[in-house]
């Protein structure tokens, strides 16, 4: 399991939590965020919204070492009640 809080990334191996990263993700006020594993590409994807100083929807990928912000053509229309899932049949999130 991967857990993200305040820009810090943790991993749960079934016994204990390990610190994976303290950088890459912005340490900002995330209004909300969701994590999902993209099994097709073997990456954890974070979608969420920050307040810096206005609402900014963002998409990030974790490759096991580094978070990378994924540019989007238009800001995704997410909201605090949103959920993210991997659709294995259609190969999309």
Do the Cβ atoms of 8 and 17 come closer than 8 Å? no
pLDDT digits (tens, 9 = 90+) for 27-76: 666 777 888 889 898 899 988 877 766 667 788 898 888 889 888 776 56
Q: How many CB atoms lie within 10 A of CB 1?
A: 11
- Report how far residue 79's alpha carbon sits from residue 9's, in angstroms, rounded to the nearest whole number: 22
Least-confidence region, from 12-16, 27-31, 88-92:
27-31
- Nearest to 69, CA basis, from 88, 48, 55, 51: 48
User: pTM for the whole thing?
Assistant: 0.75
- The pLDDT assigned to 34 comes to 84
């Amino acid at each position: 399991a991967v857990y993200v809080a305040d820009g810090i990334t943790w991993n749960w191996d079934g016994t204990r939590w390990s610190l994976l990263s303290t950088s890459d993700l912005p340490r900002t006020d995330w209004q909300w965020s969701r994590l999902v594993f993209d099994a097709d590409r073997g990456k954890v994807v974070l979608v969420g919204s920050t307040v810096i100083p206005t609402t900014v929807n963002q998409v990030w990928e974790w490759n096991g070492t580094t978070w990378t912000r994924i540019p989007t053509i238009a800001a995704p229309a997410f909201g605090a009640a949103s959920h993210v899932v991997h659709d294995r049949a259609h190969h999309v999130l």
